[in-house]
């Protein structure tokens, strides 16, 4: 501790936030101590930089040498003076490239610091921008970009999605990238790839769905690699720079909820992979879910920290997951710190499905999320009608705890596929061996339906199916072009950048203002509808006449988030919590609900935990944990107790993590408060998203 204080003092001149998550190790940790327990109450706004539009943002800024890089102004990259919040330059990627990596960015500099680049994907193209001038680098790739759909050994035209909205990791002169495949059947393979930061040339590829002859190929049907996808790294990665090891957590194989075409354990889906960062060769791996049919993607960066274990210092890696588990390994050998048991789990009753008979359970540390949802767990804040409905749902569903397989009858999933830990949701104090995890308690109810396949062979995508739902139920009001008739009838055209998915689900399911809800849509119809609203370009204008439908052997389920009429979760609060672990002995030090729900807080109901969180905590050597939540609050908590030491209210909801840095001896914490703007028609167009910097008063 004393060492860190001294280091913090020395670094007080300039401490950067050089990478997504604070650095290659994704620790979400700053060694700065100027803001600390004794003075944090005096924090003041140092500057505010409005995002300049009504998009939602949850971008983790990067700060190097006094320049802060943010995403704002209709998805442009903006360089700011990090001490004053004043613009230095703006880079607009252009109208065709508006889907930009929006959780953070990759920063690279040459050894002599003369060359500096920002690297990001927009749509399916990897691009580079000069970080000093904000000009596109046209010598990168072909005419300034690399087509990420190429080189996957699939016809690029058949690949709907490859771009992740999470940045990758820069190591030496390469950029290591994961990808987002879509969720459906036949999605792209989740290859992890490394590109030369100067030329954009491919340096290595790791097949997460192994090819013939590669380790793990036998965990799939022999030919599956040609058609099955996923097992991708859409979330965060981290790097042990000293050892040259990349830690990559992978997602489930696709299709998410039914695996009859992928019998086997399905390596390397749902794995923590340790790869040689220079070559992409596998060093070790651990699979957290065998043959995943629950969408239990691992998305949070593996956390690197040093713990005292059996009396010795040990360099560990900790992975937190959607199921609510913390897995801790020796980061060099992959050996777990505490025993892991393979326990029998319930069997699927679906045709041709072969669930894996066991799943791994860590005996230590204890989980940070609730892993069951019964009638005893219903929220006391449900209306009587909701209470009766959810009671019936639970009692009639298959509900055998963690890893209950989805079937054609309702199946309860808790934590749901959007619960537990997710991107940005964990921070560490690397030298003390402490881990802080944000988790979300949101149950899901899954239900498989036969896919119903179009016989005439047109573009039969989720978006196309969703468009048909839209035409049947929404077109009259929101219009064929989805632009509505503002202000009375909101446009849904920009809904993907304005509203989080759960809010869209709640609006459609329960209604909003004068619009009635659509409770009868099936989960699959709802998901297809949202897929269409997110990506209307992927649907054709009309389904050809004469199209007929037949049941196929494939099944689909929606994500099935369980949401009550008031938009909240039907499970008892807390809906989000923050758990502090001491990984020296694998115990929980403290646990608190994180944040409030504004309309309940107004009635005096506090400490429910905020709803819809993707909260990224950041810990500092000053003994502070900073976090911003959906209740529009930013807080500073004492790392040792969880006690709130300071809080402030901002104009918009927050998601993702702040950046902590210092310039000219002054420490700043910058929050991106733009996760939810212009929600109601009257607020549409009103710009209230901003990057807000706090610091201690200048002497
Ligand atoms: C009878 C007309 C009508 C129909 C049909 C209708 N909506 Fe709406 N919708 C509205 C109105 C009016 C609002 C604005 C409510 C408010 O905030 O006051 C709205 C709001 C919304 C919102 C919230 C948007 C925002 O900016 O706050 C979403 C999302 C939405 N509708 C989606 C849909 C979808 C999807 C369908 C089809 C399943 C649909 N609506 C069908 C009238 C309709």
Among protein residues, the one whose CA lies closest to atom 40 of ligand 1 = 474
Q: Give the Å distance between the CA of 524 and the centre of ligand 1.
A: 19
Give the model's confidence band at 548: pLDDT under 50 very low, under 70 low, under 90 confident, else very high: low
**Enclosing H/E stretch for 271:** strand 271-276
Give the model's confidence band at 4: pLDDT under 50 very low, under 70 low, under 90 confident, else very high: very low
Atom of ligand 1 nearest to the CA of 679: 27
Atom of ligand 1 nearest to the CA of 488: 12
Q: Would 613 be classed as within a structural domain?
A: no
Q: Give the Å distance between the CA of 562 and the centre of ligand 1.
A: 20
- State the CATH number of the domain containing residue 467: 1.10.760.10
- From CA 497, how far away is CA 57, in angstroms rounded? 8
Among protein residues, the one whose CA lies closest to atom 24 of ligand 1 = 490
Q: Which of 473, 487, 490, 497 to mutate to test the pocket of ligand 1 (most atoms within 8 A of CB)?
A: 490
Q: Would 465 be classed as within a structural domain?
A: yes
Give the model's confidence band at 550: pLDDT under 50 very low, under 70 low, under 90 confident, else very high: low
Among protein residues, the one whose CA lies closest to atom 16 of ligand 1 = 513
Q: Give the Å distance between the CA of 16 and the centre of ligand 1.
A: 44
- From CA 444, how far away is CA 96, in angstroms rounded? 35
Q: Would 117 be classed as within a structural domain?
A: no
Has residue 99 got a pLDDT over 90?
no
Which pTM does this prediction carry? 0.89
Domain that holds residue 489: 452-550
346 vs 468 pLDDT, higher one: 346
Number of domains in the chain: 1
Q: Give the Å distance between the CA of 122 and the centre of ligand 1.
A: 29
Q: Would 546 be classed as within a structural domain?
A: yes
Q: Give the Å distance between the CA of 508 and the centre of ligand 1.
A: 7
**Cα 645 off chain centre by:** 28
Q: How many helices (H) and strands (E) does the chain have?
A: 8, 45
In this predicted structure, what is the pLDDT of residue 10? 45
Q: Would 101 be classed as within a structural domain?
A: no
- From CA 292, how far away is CA 30, in angstroms rounded? 36
Q: Give the Å distance between the CA of 478 and the centre of ligand 1.
A: 7
Q: Which of 511, 512, 536, 563 to mutate to test the pocket of ligand 1 (most atoms within 8 A of CB)?
A: 512
Lowest mean per-residue pLDDT among 48-52, 428-432, 613-617, 633-637: 613-617
Q: Give the Å distance between the CA of 322 and the centre of ligand 1.
A: 31
Q: Would 498 be classed as within a structural domain?
A: yes
113 vs 485 pLDDT, higher one: 113
Among protein residues, the one whose CA lies closest to atom 15 of ligand 1 = 513
Q: Give the Å distance between the CA of 140 and the centre of ligand 1.
A: 43
In this predicted structure, what is the pLDDT of residue 186? 78
Say what percent of the chain tops pLDDT 70: 93
In this predicted structure, what is the pLDDT of residue 157? 81
- Which residues, judged by CB distance below 6 Å to any ligand atom, belong to the binding site of ligand 1? 473-474, 476-478, 489-490, 492, 495, 504, 507-508, 512-515, 518, 529, 679-681
In this predicted structure, what is the pLDDT of residue 1? 36
Q: Would 231 be classed as within a structural domain?
A: no
Residues in Cβ contact with 128 at an 8 Å cutoff, skipping those fewer than 6 apart: 117, 118, 119, 136, 137, 140, 141, 144, 197, 200
Q: Give the Å distance between the CA of 485 and the centre of ligand 1.
A: 11
Q: Give the Å distance between the CA of 98 and the centre of ligand 1.
A: 25
Say what percent of the chain tops pLDDT 90: 72
Atom of ligand 1 nearest to the CA of 504: 29
In this predicted structure, what is the pLDDT of residue 547? 56
Has residue 668 got a pLDDT over 60?
yes
Residues in Cβ contact with 307 at an 8 Å cutoff, skipping those fewer than 6 apart: 313, 314, 316, 328, 337, 433, 583, 584
Q: Would 543 be classed as within a structural domain?
A: yes
At 236-248, the pLDDT tens digits run 999 999 999 999 9
Q: Count of CB atoms within 10 A of residue 600's CB?
A: 18
Lowest mean per-residue pLDDT among 136-140, 214-218, 453-457, 535-539: 453-457
């Amino acid at each position: 501790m004393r060492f860190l204080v001294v280091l913090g003092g020395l670094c007080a001149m300039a401490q950067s936030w050089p990478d997504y998550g604070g650095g290659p190790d994704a620790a979400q940790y700053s060694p700065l101590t100027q803001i600390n327990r004794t003075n944090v109450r005096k924090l003041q706004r140092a500057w505010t930089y409005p995002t300049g539009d009504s998009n939602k943002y949850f971008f983790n800024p990067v700060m190097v040498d006094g320049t802060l890089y943010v995403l704002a102004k209709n998805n442009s990259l903006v360089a700011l003076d990090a001490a004053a919040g004043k613009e230095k330059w703006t880079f607009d990627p252009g109208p065709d490239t508006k889907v930009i990596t929006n959780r953070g960015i990759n920063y690279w500099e040459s050894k002599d610091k003369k060359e500096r680049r920002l690297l990001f994907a927009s749509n399916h193209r990897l691009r580079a921008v000069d970080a000093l001038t904000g000009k596109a680098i046209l010598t990168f790739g072909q005419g300034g970009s690399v087509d990420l759909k190429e080189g996957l050994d699939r016809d690029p035209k058949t690949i709907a999605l490859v771009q992740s909205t999470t940045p990758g990791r820069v190591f030496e002169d390469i950029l290591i990238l994961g990808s987002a495949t879509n969720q459906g059947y036949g999605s792209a393979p989740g290859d992890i790839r490394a590109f030369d930061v100067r030329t954009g040339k491919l340096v290595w590829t790791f097949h997460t769905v192994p090819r013939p002859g590669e380790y793990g190929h036998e965990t799939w049907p022999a030919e599956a690699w040609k058609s099955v996808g996923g097992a991708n790294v859409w979330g965060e990665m981290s790097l042990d720079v000293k050892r040259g090891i990349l830690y990559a957590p992978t997602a489930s194989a696709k299709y998410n909820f039914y695996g009859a075409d992928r019998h086997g354990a399905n390596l390397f889906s749902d794995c923590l992979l340790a790869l040689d960062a220079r070559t992409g060769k596998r060093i070790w791996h651990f699979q957290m879910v065998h043959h995943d049919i629950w969408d239990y993607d691992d998305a949070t960066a593996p956390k690197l920290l040093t713990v005292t274990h059996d009396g010795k210092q040990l360099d560990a890696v900790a992975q937190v997951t959607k199921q609510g588990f913390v897995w801790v390994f020796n980061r060099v050998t992959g050996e777990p710190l505490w025993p892991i048991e393979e326990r029998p789990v319930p069997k699927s009753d679906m045709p041709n499905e072969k669930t894996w008979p066991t799943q791994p359970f860590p005996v230590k540390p204890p989980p940070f999320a609730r892993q069951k949802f019964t009638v005893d767990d219903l929220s006391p804040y449900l209306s009587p009608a909701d209470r009766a409905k959810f009671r019936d749902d639970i009692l009639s569903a298959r509900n055998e705890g963690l890893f209950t397989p989805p079937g054609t009858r309702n199946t309860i999933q808790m934590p749901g596929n959007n619960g537990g830990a997710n991107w940005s949701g964990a921070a560490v104090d690397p030298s003390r061996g402490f881990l802080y995890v944000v988790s979300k308690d949101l149950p899901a109810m899954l239900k498989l339906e036969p896919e119903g396949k179009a016989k005439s062979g047109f573009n039969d995508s989720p978006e196309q199916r969703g468009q048909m739902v839209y035409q049947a139920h929404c077109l009259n009001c929101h219009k064929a072009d989805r632009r509505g008739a503002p202000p009375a009838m909101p446009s849904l055209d920009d809904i993907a950048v304005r509203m989080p998915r759960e809010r869209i689900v709640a609006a459609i399911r329960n209604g909003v203002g004068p619009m009635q809800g659509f409770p009868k849509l099936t989960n699959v119809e709802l998901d297809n509808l949202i897929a269409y609203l997110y990506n209307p370009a992927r649907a054709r204008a009309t389904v050809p006449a004469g199209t007929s439908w037949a049941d196929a052997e494939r099944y689909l389920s929606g994500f099935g988030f369980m949401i009550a009429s008031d938009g909240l979760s039907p499970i008892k609060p807390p809906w989000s919590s923050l758990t502090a672990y001491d990984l020296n002995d694998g115990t929980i030090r403290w646990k608190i609900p994180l944040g409030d729900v504004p309309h309940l807080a107004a009635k005096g109901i506090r400490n429910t935990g905020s709803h819809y969180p993707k909260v990224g905590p950041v810990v500092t050597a000053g003994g502070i944990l900073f976090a911003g939540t959906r209740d529009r609050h930013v807080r500073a908590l004492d790392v040792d107790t969880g006690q709130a030491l300071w809080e402030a209210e901002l104009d918009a909801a927050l998601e993702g993590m702040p950046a902590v840095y210092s310039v000219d001896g002054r420490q700043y914490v910058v929050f991106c408060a733009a996760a939810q703007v212009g929600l109601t028609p009257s607020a549409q167009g009103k710009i209230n998203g901003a990057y807000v910097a706090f610091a201690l008063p200048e002497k």
